[in-house]
Amino acid sequence: MNLTTPVLFKGLWKTDVHEKLDWRYRLDQAGERIMEMTTGTEGEFLRIGERLQEIHQRARAMSKLSGAAVEQLSGDTILTQMEGLKKILRQIGDENESSLGGSATIAMILQRLKEVHGHLESFDKIVRNLRVLCNLIRIESARLGNQHEGFAALGDDVQGLIAHVDTGSSTLRMRTEEIIRLLADHMALAKEFETSQQENTKLILDQSRRNIGEMEARHELSSQVIKDAAVRWKQISGSVGEVVSSLQFHDITRQRMEHVREALMEMMGERKNTPELPERKSLIPWPLRGHRENNGISDTTDVMSKAAVTCELQTAQLQHAREDLAGAVERIGENLYRISSEISVMSEDIQKAAGASGEKEDTYFSELEASLAKLMEAIGEFAEMNRKMSGSMLQVAHAMGEMTSFIRDIQKVGIAMRVTALNACIHAAHIGDSGLALGVLADSIHDLSVNTEGSIDIISTNLACIGGEAESLSRQGGRYDQERLERENTSLLDQVKSLMQPLRQMDEELSDLLQRFDSDGADLQQEIEEMAAHLRVHDEMDRGIGAVVTSLKGVTDDMHAALPAGSELSKAAVLGDMAARYTMVQERKIHMAVAGAAPVAAIGVLPMMVEEGEDRDMLDGTREDAEAATAAGGDEGDLGDNVELF
């Protein structure tokens, strides 16, 4: 076949050898450009992959660290220590309450003493009445003369009663007044002291409870933030892992571009820069290698038509590879910015937890220790006050004992008054009508004895109550031994310190952990944003592929223009069922779309992966691993420690 016939090969070889070489040159340049892109950008993608691997490992490390922190926080140590502190506060509060009430007890004693004093004052009236009766008895005895000497003895008895009642009541009254003055002074001091100390102690206890509550709230907030951070770091680690895995698209894109170059080189017979015209087998399209040429015009036209279809197919393969590349890189950038946003939100929460109070973490513990120390001091002051009151109450108790002995003497006087009244009645009855006046006097003495006994009973009851309360208050103050109190306070403070030590240590660890999360997260966020902002390696490939696509379209258009009208073969006839020769699902779909078996628009930018159920027998090991890893990347939350990039 004469391939130089200008009519048959117009537009394919033209009549000028240099025109023919222009097509060869353009196809050869396209292949060279493809090779430059596949080899020239691989190093840059590897560097990106290495940076992403490093980011991925750092995110995994943060995920593991936060997970360990969550396990530590889930223990019972915090709750146990907090409950121990609350128990001590309750104990101190109970101790404080038991220390109060001294002024109330003194007030009650004072009230009883005043009642006793009132009854003792009534003895003055009894004494006056007895004196009147004594005088009347003596007058009546004088009237009767010496015939009834018993009346004179009765007068002497009444006079003796007067002396006993007057002396006893006066002594009791003076002693009562002394004790009333003493207790009144103590009560004023005790009431003022208790009011002041009660207010201060309440403030201290409330502050201590607030400190514990704030510590609990802070611990709960920190725990929740760390738990949330653990979940987010795990998600971030998985997201970074997916980005790392998605870099495999470059290897797949490179393979697709190499397939295009191989097709172009095979179409040209893999001969480059050949100025002479050898046998034209080199122009047989790649999909039909092995078909023999005929010497007819129809065969030559078919060759040119098939070459045009081949160029069109490779142009479509490149264009879709270009779109996949741009879409994949765009998604990487979006994912990186999304990861950065997640870290930013998490950092804000961590900063709130780390500086919620605007103070150092140690403040809570220092304030709590200081508050408890003040409580111990307050209890000590109460103890000192109670010890002083104990001495006074001891005096009161002794005084009540003395007064009780006086009361017993007065009780004897009351009995004597009854006896005297009885004797007077007997004498009056013995002398008959002349002793009527004496009988009236005897009745008066009896009435006085009854009234006296009533007052004595009231006084005795009050004195017994006063003595009991005084002894109780004295014993209460006596239990505040200085050395024992110091030992108890020291023991309580030691318990507080032992409870707060693990809390302080854990709080410091939490604080350091939150600060580390914040610092490392900020560094990682900055690196991710910087990487996303400078992720422009695909621009060079996009421009390069665009130039190759434009060149191939030009060659294809020239070939179509050179073909005689109606001589073009259908794409389906040229491409047939050769889609099975492809090793990638995407390439097969594009092939079928160009051949007319599927609409091109339905392809779009598809994931570059091997689908389930597809025949993988033609895949080599590296390519199969790459595509399988890409397919699996969408479902795994974390890729593990060995992520293969290419």
Report pLDDT digits (tens) over 440-485: 877 887 787 787 777 778 877 877 777 777 777 666 655 555 566 6
For residue 360, count CB atoms less than 10 angstroms from its CB and return exposed for 0-12, middle for 13-18, buried for 19 or more: exposed
Q: How far apart are CA 449 and CA 441, in angstroms?
A: 12
* Average pLDDT of the chain, as a whole number: 70
Q: How far apart are CA 261 and CA 149, in angstroms?
A: 162
Residue 371 is predicted with a pLDDT of 73
Helices 537-562 & 17-40 angle (0-180, nearest 10): 160
Residue 146 is predicted with a pLDDT of 59
For residue 601, count CB atoms less than 10 angstroms from its CB and return exposed for 0-12, middle for 13-18, buried for 19 or more: exposed
Q: For residues 393 and 477, is the Cβ–Cβ distance under 8 A?
A: yes
Q: Say if 431 falls within a structural domain.
A: yes
Q: How far apart are CA 319 and CA 317, in angstroms?
A: 6
What's the whole-number mean pLDDT along residues 345-355? 71
Q: Say if 569 falls within a structural domain.
A: no
Residue 319 is predicted with a pLDDT of 92
Instruction: Residue count of the chain, please give it.
Output: 646
Which has the higher per-residue pLDDT, 307 or 616?
307
Neighbours of 268 (CB within 10 A): 20
Quote the domain boundaries for residue 137.
81-217+386-503
Q: How far apart are CA 180 and CA 112, in angstroms?
A: 10
Query: pLDDT per residue over 138-196, tens digit each?
Result: 787 777 765 556 666 777 777 877 787 788 778 878 888 888 888 787 777 777 777 77
Nearest residue to 78 via CA among 504, 362, 512: 504
Q: Indicate left, alpha or beta for 50 from its phi (over 0: left) and psi (-120 to 50: alpha).
A: alpha
Q: Say if 96 falls within a structural domain.
A: yes
Q: Tokens 């290419």 identify what position?
A: 646
Q: For residues 77 and 505, is the Cβ–Cβ distance under 8 A?
A: no
Q: Say if 58 falls within a structural domain.
A: no
Give this prediction's pTM.
0.54
Q: Say if 562 falls within a structural domain.
A: no
Q: Say if 364 falls within a structural domain.
A: no
Neighbours of 632 (CB within 10 A): 12
Q: Say if 300 falls within a structural domain.
A: no
Count up the domains in the chain and report the number: 1
Residue 281 is predicted with a pLDDT of 34
Q: Say if 282 falls within a structural domain.
A: no
For residue 487, count CB atoms less than 10 angstroms from its CB and return exposed for 0-12, middle for 13-18, buried for 19 or more: exposed
CB proximity list for 626: less than 8 A, separation 6 or greater: 248, 251, 252, 644, 646
- pLDDT band of residue 625 (cuts 50, 70, 90) is very low
Q: For residues 428 and 438, is the Cβ–Cβ distance under 8 A?
A: yes
